[in-house]
Amino acid sequence: MLNILLITFPFFALVLAGFVAAHRRMLPLDAIPGLNGFVLFFALPCMLYRFGASTPIVQLLDATLFCAYLLCALLMVGFVVAVSMNKRIGWNDASFGALVGAFPNTGFMGVPLLVALLGASAAGPAIVTIVVDMVITTSLCIALSRLDGADEHGASRAAKSALKGVLTNPMPWAISLGGLSSALDWQLVGPVAKTVGLLADAASPVALFTIGAVLARSQIRVKESGHPPILWRDVLPVALFKLVLHPLLVLLVLAAAVQMGFHIEHFTMVVVVLVAALPSASNVALLSERFGADTGRIAMIILVTTAAAFFTFSGAVALLHG
Amino acid type, 13: A
Alpha carbons 306 and 300: distance in angstroms, whole number: 10
Please compute the mean of the pLDDT values over residues 228-237 and round it to a whole number.
86
Radius of gyration in angstroms for the set of CA atoms belonging to the chain, rounded to a whole number: 19
Q: Residue 245's pLDDT is what?
A: 97
Question: Helix axis angle, 44-53 relative to 123-131, nearest 10°?
Answer: 120
Please compute the mean of the pLDDT values over residues 31-55 and round it to a whole number.
90
Is pLDDT at 76 greater than 90 in this prediction?
Answer: yes
Q: Name the CATH topology of 2-321.
A: Na+/H+ antiporter like fold (1.20.1530)
Q: What percent of the chain has a predicted confidence (pLDDT) above 70? A: 93
Q: Residue 150's pLDDT is what?
A: 47
Is pLDDT at 146 greater than 90 in this prediction?
Answer: no
Please compute the mean of the pLDDT values over residues 219-236 and round it to a whole number.
82
Is pLDDT at 158 greater than 80 in this prediction?
Answer: no
> How far lies 219's CA from each of 28, 29, 229, 255, in Å?
14, 12, 12, 39
Could you tell me which residues come within 8 angstroms of residue 1 by beta carbon, excluding any fewer than 6 positions away?
314, 318, 322
Length of the chain equals: 322
Please, are residues 209 and 21 in contact by the beta-carbon 8 Å criterion?
yes
Which has the higher per-residue pLDDT, 267 or 58? 267
Is pLDDT at 311 greater than 90 in this prediction?
Answer: yes
Alpha carbons 180 and 171: distance in angstroms, whole number: 14
Weakest mean pLDDT among 23-37, 152-166, 180-194, 229-243: 152-166
> How far lies 148's CA from each of 34, 79, 151, 234, in Å?
33, 18, 9, 19
Please compute the mean of the pLDDT values over residues 232-250 and round it to a whole number.
95
Q: How confident is the model at residue 66 (pLDDT cuts 50, 70, 90)?
A: very high
Is pLDDT at 90 greater than 70 in this prediction?
Answer: yes
Q: Residue 309's pLDDT is what?
A: 94
Mean pLDDT value across the chain: 89
Which has the higher per-residue pLDDT, 21 or 229? 21
Which has the higher per-residue pLDDT, 215 or 149? 215
Please compute the mean of the pLDDT values over residues 288-313 and round it to a whole number.
89
Q: Residue 282's pLDDT is what?
A: 85
Q: Residue 170's pLDDT is what?
A: 84
Q: What percent of the chain has a predicted confidence (pLDDT) above 90? A: 56
Is pLDDT at 220 greater than 90 in this prediction?
Answer: no
Q: Which residues pair with 104 in a beta bridge?
A: 280
Q: Residue 86's pLDDT is what?
A: 86
Amino acid type, 95: S
Please, are residues 295 and 289 in contact by the beta-carbon 8 Å criterion?
yes
- Per-domain residue ranges of the chain: 2-321
Which has the higher per-residue pLDDT, 281 or 1? 281
- SS3 category, 280: strand
Q: How confident is the model at residue 292 (pLDDT cuts 50, 70, 90)?
A: confident
